[in-house]
Amino acid sequence: PRHREAQDAYTHWELESLPSGGWGYMHFPLAQRYARTLGLDCLGMTGKFHTFWGDFQSYKNEAALQFECFQMLALGAKCSIGDQLHPTGRLDRATYDLVGSVYRQVAAKEPWCRGATPVTEIALFTPEEFTGQRLTPETIGAIRMLQEGGHQFDIVDSQSDFSPYSVLVLPDIAPFGSELAAKVEAFLAGGGKVIASFEAGLRPDGADFALAAWGVQKTGDGPRDETGALVRGRNFPRGDYVDYLTATGALARGMRDVEHVMYMRGMEVAAAEDAEVLARVVPAYFDRTWRHFCSHRQTPSTGEEAGPAVVRRGNVIYFAHPIFRQYNQNAPRWCKLMFLNGLDLLLPDPLLRHQGPSTLLTAINAQADPQRWVVHLLHYIPERRGLDFDIIEDVIPLHELAVSLRAPGPVTRVRTVPEGEELSFATVGGRVNFILPRLHGHQMVEVTF
């Protein structure tokens, strides 16, 4: 967002993002999913180094370089692999053997990437303009959840046009001044749907939520620590201020029928009379402070339900806890399940579904001539094998991968590209279903209309 005002000075965006150089593997999807909405060409830039610029005689694992370049293609960017010239002025043969092996694959894929535009239905709001952080934990947590759920989304800010999207996700922080409040209200009036969490939607003074559509009212600030600072939304290593929740119905699909701990304290809210409570807070016996103590971590639950934790009012679902920040912190699966289940309530017929693992990344791009979708499927798993950063070494194949698309029209052909293997498919209820026999790293599937 900080570059939006200067975009007229640029011919294109170059997104420097070396996962091993401090950016990590979440930076590029965050930056590119936003940059591609601004109307300029995008070029992704990684490096051939094991670590960072100036790391002479080091070589990135080939699987990692594949993933970084193929993800650029999947998200609509061109590819750049950086090197640094040795003082002798001689190119390193091993480096260009590595780069060439990946670029040859990129060249074969290019016809299905030129002029392609992303097919998305969800807008993820970045709070960067309010926090000043480049890698906001709320946004990273939300990106992880959406990618792991196979959803198709862009990243937007307060100046973006929300109207092309079906659902707007407001993760944890987004003060609603009058302009943003009016914009979201108009989005809802036009049939849009919203998932908001924690402090997203509060007025700038923090006194209450700006829109009645949230279906909740703020009832208090919650507890403070010994310094007088609010504890809500903060991570305490021993879970000093946790509470718990019980989810019911469709929101709890895939979860155990028990209480679940919420490590970061949420907002204290009351539900509107016409709102549906989907989950309730269950307090701990007491907060873990110097006055009270219990074991190695948080105090157990009282087992007695209290205020609302998740509320639905019409086309808005509100989570009182900072579920996205929490997922970025330590990835509780129940936070992801509740979010994805809530998204299913608002978006029951998503663009893409698959039966693969949560490590599978997906993207849909459209080309006009010929009229087709190109579905990108990527399965590479970053691992923290050393202290400094994640690496990718092995490509773990998937077999008999079932994929379902909400097709915009009658489908005439489904095949892998550039290989050209024809795939049988069936169209049922407006969805085209096919099975990919084998996915080894990255596969594009052409769906022709």
Domain holding 143: CATH number?
3.40.50.880
Same structural domain, 128 and 87: no
Same structural domain, 294 and 374: no
Contacts of 363 (CB under 8 A, 6+ apart): 74, 75, 118, 152, 375, 376
Q: What is the pLDDT of residue 290?
A: 87
Same structural domain, 96 and 183: no
**Alpha-carbon gap, residue 418 to 245, rounded angstroms:** 49
Same structural domain, 214 and 271: yes
Same structural domain, 34 and 173: no
Would you put residue 206 in left (φ > 0), alpha (ψ -120 to 50) or beta? left
- Range 54-61 average pLDDT: 97
> Smallest Cα–Cα separation from 109: which of 406, 367, 393, 394?
367
Query: In the structure, what pLDDT confidence band is assigned to residue 265 with cuts at 50, 70 and 90?
Result: very high
Is 1's pLDDT higher than 90?
no
**Alpha-carbon gap, residue 271 to 120, rounded angstroms:** 32
Q: What is the pLDDT of residue 377?
A: 99
Same structural domain, 245 and 197: yes
Domain holding 435: CATH number?
2.60.40.1180
Count CB-CB contacts under 10 A for residue 60.
Answer: 26
> Smallest Cα–Cα separation from 149: which of 298, 438, 351?
351
Is 425's pLDDT higher than 80?
yes
Same structural domain, 245 and 368: no
Out of 80, 98, 116, pick the residue that ends a domain: 116
**Alpha-carbon gap, residue 314 to 150, rounded angstroms:** 25
Q: What is the pLDDT of residue 245?
A: 98
Same structural domain, 8 and 42: yes
- Range 267-271 average pLDDT: 99
Query: In the structure, what pLDDT confidence band is assigned to residue 5 with cuts at 50, 70 and 90?
Result: confident
Task: Write phi, then psi, for 422 (nearest 5 degrees).
Answer: -70, 135
Out of 116, 149, 171, pick the residue that ends a domain: 116
**Sequence letter at residue 193:** K
- Range 273-290 average pLDDT: 96
Tally of domains in the chain: 3
Per the listing, tokens 């663009």 go with 351
- Percentage of the chain beyond pLDDT 90 is 95
Same structural domain, 339 and 379: no
Contacts of 17 (CB under 8 A, 6+ apart): 23, 27, 28, 31, 44, 45, 46
**Alpha-carbon gap, residue 122 to 193, rounded angstroms:** 10
Q: What is the pLDDT of residue 294?
A: 85
Same structural domain, 34 and 127: no
Mean model confidence pLDDT for the chain: 97
* pLDDT tens for each residue of 341-356: 999 999 999 999 999 9
**Alpha-carbon gap, residue 236 to 377, rounded angstroms:** 37
Q: What is the pLDDT of residue 190?
A: 98
* pLDDT tens for each residue of 289-341: 988 888 999 999 999 999 999 999 999 999 999 999 999 999 999 999 999 99
Kind and range of the H or E run holding 85: none
Task: Write phi, then psi, for 436 (nearest 5 degrees).
Answer: -90, 120
- Range 246-251 average pLDDT: 98
* pLDDT tens for each residue of 78-132: 999 999 999 999 999 999 999 999 999 999 999 999 999 999 999 999 999 999 8
Is 3's pLDDT higher than 90?
no
Is 6's pLDDT higher than 90?
no
Domain holding 40: CATH number?
3.40.50
Same structural domain, 80 and 129: no
- Range 429-449 average pLDDT: 98
Same structural domain, 227 and 127: yes
Out of 295, 329, 346, pick the residue that ends a domain: 346
Residue-wise DSSP of 96-133: HHHHHHHHHHHHHHGGGTTT-EE---EEEEP-HHHH--
What is the domain range of residue 357? 352-448
* pLDDT tens for each residue of 124-183: 999 999 998 888 999 999 999 999 999 999 999 999 999 999 999 999 999 999 999 999
